[in-house]
Amino acid sequence: MTRNTRPPKSLLITGFEPFPGMPINPTSLLIKRLPMRLPDLFQNTLVQFALLPTTWSGRKSAASVLRAKLQPDAILHFGVAGKRRNISIETRAVNCATRIIPDAAGVHFPHVVLEKDAPAARYSTLPVKALQQASLRAGVPTSLSRDAGTYLCNATLWDSLRDGYKAAFVHVPPLPHPNDRTRPGYLQVEQACINIILETARRI
**Tens of pLDDT, residues 157-183:** 999 999 999 999 999 999 877 667 777
Q: How far apart are CA 20 and CA 103, in angstroms?
A: 7
Q: Between 28 and 20, whose confidence is greater?
A: 28
pLDDT (tens digit per residue) in 30-80: 999 998 887 666 777 889 999 999 999 888 766 777 777 888 999 999 999
Domain boundaries, position 33: 9-203
The answer to whether residue 3 is domain-embedded is no
Question: Would 2 be classed as within a structural domain?
Answer: no
**Is 137 part of any domain?**
yes
Task: Of 17, 54, 20, 19, give the one whose Cα is nearest residue 156.
Answer: 54
pLDDT tens for 95-121 read: 999 999 999 999 999 999 999 999 999
Count of C-beta atoms within a 10 Å radius of residue 75: 31
- Select which of 77, 90, 193, 199 is catalytic: 90
Reported confidence tier of residue 154, pLDDT bands at 50, 70, 90: very high
Q: Does residue 171 have an active-site annotation?
A: yes
Query: Strands 142-145 and 87-90: what pairing?
Result: parallel
CA nearest to 104, candidates 153, 66, 53: 53
The reply to whether 1 falls in a domain is: no
> How many domains does the structure of the chain reveal?
1
Active site residue 77: no
Residue among 171, 190, 193, 199 flagged as catalytic? 171
What span, in angstroms and rounded, lies between the C-alpha atoms of 24 and 21? 9
- Structure pTM? 0.91
Residue 3 has pLDDT above 70, yes or no: no
Does 175 reside within a domain? yes
Whether residue 90 lies in the annotated active site: yes
Instruction: Bin 38: left if φ > 0, else alpha if -120 < ψ < 50, else beta.
Output: alpha
CA nearest neighbour of 121 among 164, 91, 78: 91
User: Per-residue pLDDT tens for 78-94?
Assistant: 999 988 999 999 999 99
Question: Dihedral through CA 43, CA 37, CA 46, CA 62, nearest 10?
Answer: 160
Q: Is 13 within a domain?
A: yes
> What CATH number has the domain bearing residue 132?
3.40.630.20
- Does some domain include residue 123? yes
Q: Is residue 4 a part of any domain in this protein?
A: no
Tell me if 16 sits within 8 A of 77, measured CB to CB.
Answer: no
Residues 41-59 as b or e (16 or more Cβ within 10 Å = b): ebeebebebbbbbbbbebb
